[in-house]
Structure 1
Amino acid sequence: MATRETRLRAISLYKELHRLGREYPDPAYNFHKKLRGLFEKNRNLSDPQEIEKAIKLGEYIRNETLALYSLRKYRYLKRMYPQDSLSDPPL
């Protein structure tokens, strides 16, 4: 049976992933629909180990999504500065 603590962790993870999904770069992927489907699929879990495993998977997805956003921002900044601006200016 899920304890109150694991329930609150799952709800906060869902809210965080939902907020992250607002900025997801590919609208055709339908991040929110897939997120809701994953959480609904696991809503009847009762084994504490299975619940913890599902939460760990959600945290992994959160970390990968954050890495994707960081990479997207880095690529944008890299395009804004041409390669020549990084070299020393001519004397």
Structure 2
Amino acid sequence: MPPPAHYRLRAIRLYKELHRLGREYPDPSYDFHGKLRRAFEKNRNLEDPEKIERAFALGEYVKNETLALYSLRKYRWLRRSYHPQDDPR
């Protein structure tokens, strides 16, 4: 089992990455930062290494899905700028 300081540093790093990603979240009504903070506060008292690793895995999944959302947004913008007639709106 890694020392608790290792988990703390890893959690802080993940939180910072997700917080930076949340700055550009496309839907302001979603409250990305509020949900992020509540999720981390909910898991702050975990002590079982397996549950901690599951929480980290979920955080990494959210990070990857958010990055994919941003990539799709950029792709759609580029597609509309080069092919405005294909815009379904």
> Fold conserved (TM > 0.5)?
yes
**Which residue does the alignment assign to 2:37?**
36
**Which residue does the alignment assign to 1:66?**
67
Task: Point out 4+ residue stretches in structure 1 off by more than 4 angstroms.
Answer: none
Could you tell me which runs of 5 or more consecutive residues in structure 2 were left unpaired when the two chains were aligned: none
The 1-side partners of 2:84 and 2:9 are apart by: 48
Aligned letter for 1:30?
D
Could you tell me which runs of 5 or more consecutive residues in structure 1 were left unpaired when the two chains were aligned: 85-91
Q: CA RMSD in A?
A: 1.6
Q: Give the alignment's TM-score, normalised by structure 1.
A: 0.87
Q: Give the alignment's TM-score, normalised by structure 2.
A: 0.89
Structure 1 residue 83: Cα displacement: 7.1
**Which residue does the alignment assign to 1:5?**
6
Q: Which has the larger radius of gyration?
A: 1
- Indicate yes or no: 2:78 matched with 1:82: no
Describe the shift of the 1:75–1:43 C-alpha distance in structure 2 as closer, same or farther (beyond 3 A): same
Q: What CA deviation, in whole Å up to 9, does each residue of 1:21-65 have, x standing for no partner?
A: 000000000000000000000000000110000000000000000
Aligned residue pairs total 84
* Structure number with higher relative contact order (C-alpha < 8 Å, ≥ 6 residues apart): 1
Structure 1 residue 66: Cα displacement: 0.1
